[in-house]
Amino acid sequence: MTMHQPISPPKSDAPAKTRAKREDFQTQDDKDMLRAARDLTKDLGKARGSIYWPDMLISTAIGYGGIAVAIMTENLAVAIAVGLVASLAMYRSLMFIHELTHIHKNALPGFRLGWNLLVGIPMMAPSFMYEGVHVIHHKRTQYGTIEDPEYLPLALMKPWSLPLFVIVALLAPVAVIVRSGILVPLSLAIPPLRKLVWERASSLSINPDFRRKPATGDFAKQVRWQQFGASIWAIIVMLSPLAIGWRPLLVGMAILSLTTLLNQLRTLVAHLWENEGAPMTVTAQYLDSVNVPPPGIAAEIWAPVGLRYHALHHLMPSMPYHDLPEAHRRLEKELGDGSTYEGANHPGMLNLVGRIARSTMIPR
């Protein structure tokens, strides 16, 4: 699968220009861009169940169907082909967890429950693992700092850190089974372990220094039932080879490992990762984030459910994924070439990986 957009590469000085722009807005925002983002999208922003539900349900059905065929078929080529389709479909389904962190709890009645029952709990990544965590990543004073659960200065780290960051994602299916099926049940009887599991292993984050605060109120109730469901399912999965053999478990984990690998690659290029820990303005955060707009459809595959407009999402976090393309078209037309808005637009995954990799090789 081609992981980049088929358009001309940027000029050689593009990274330097983007960095210079971001430094210009380190202490003050581009108010014209922020005003345009507000004024040009007033008629957008309503989450539409007629889009969310079919998208999620069809993606999930294709994903589970592909996993089932891959398990049952004796033809290796067919198993690989349907496994790839299943991996991409489950990837899209799983990415709705990002939408759940931003849409109002009353915007799509039943969608959070439905997603958790169909996707979150079976994949052992229920929505509580992202809700209450991802919002920190959008806080003006915490983005890119040590308190941000979703930020590491990857572009400023050692060259070997990038392949390690990506490859470790292959172990995610094992990690979630161990967490929900072993650590959580044990933690019920061992309070220190309970605290450790919650703080260190109950959030979808990449910052090893992040410590999650205790859940409270209605959210704590959500955590309890979602975690109970994930733990019961994890135990069933661990015991399943006793009844149906190892093939279903191994095939399913292989497919989901590919899904988590693709998500980690997408995470790698979601930002430029060039902040050294200082608070940033909204504009600087925008320029440290990435849009991979059309032409081309590759980004819609590796950055689904609106994630190809990740920088724009940082300007308007509550904008539903189905409205981001139209918001992007309006802002691009209004602000034009050479604008601050254009500074977060990039041609594709390979270009971004190369940029970050080159940055890690600069002596510091």
Q: How large is the average pLDDT for residues 149-168?
A: 95
Burial 31-46 (b: 16+ CB within 10 A, else e): eebbebbeebbeeeee
pLDDT interval class at 11 (50, 70, 90): very low
Torsion of CA 29, 33, 38, 41, to 10 degrees: -150
pLDDT, residue 2, reads: 33
Calpha distance 233→239 (Å, rounded) = 10
Mean pLDDT of the chain: 92
pLDDT tens for residues 197-230? Answer: 999 999 999 999 999 999 999 999 999 999 999 9
This prediction's pTM: 0.91
pLDDT, residue 336, reads: 86
CB 103 within 8 Å of CB 47: yes
Q: Residue 291 phi/psi, 5° resolution?
A: -105, 140
Q: Minimum mean pLDDT among 24-28, 76-80, 179-183, 330-334: which range?
A: 24-28
Q: How large is the average pLDDT for residues 188-203?
A: 96
Q: How large is the average pLDDT for residues 357-361?
A: 94
Residue scoring higher pLDDT (87 or 9): 87
pLDDT, residue 1, reads: 33
Calpha distance 25→36 (Å, rounded) = 17
Calpha distance 172→261 (Å, rounded) = 9
Please check the confidence at residue 320 and state whether its pLDDT lies above 50. yes
Residue scoring higher pLDDT (102 or 22): 102
